Amino acid sequence: MKKLLYLFVACCLTTVASAQKLTDKDIQGTWKLSSFDAGQLKVDIATEKITLSPEIEAQMTPESRQQMEAGMAQAMEMFKESYAYVEGKNLRQTMGPQEQKGTFEIAFKDNKNVLTLTQADGTKEDITIAMVDKKLVLTQTEGGSAAIFTYTKQ
* Segments in the chain below pLDDT 70: 1-19
How much is the pLDDT for 32? 97
Which domain CATH number covers 71?
Answer: 2.40.128
pLDDT tens for each residue of 43-61? 999 899 989 999 988 998 9
Q: Exposed/middle/buried for 12, CB within 10 Å: 0-12, 13-18, 19+?
A: exposed
- What CA–CA distance (Å, rounded) separates 39 from 57? 13
How much is the pLDDT for 18? 44
How much is the pLDDT for 19? 57
- Which residue segment(s) compose the domain that 68 sits in? 2-153
Total structural domains within the chain = 1
Q: What is the pTM of this model?
A: 0.80
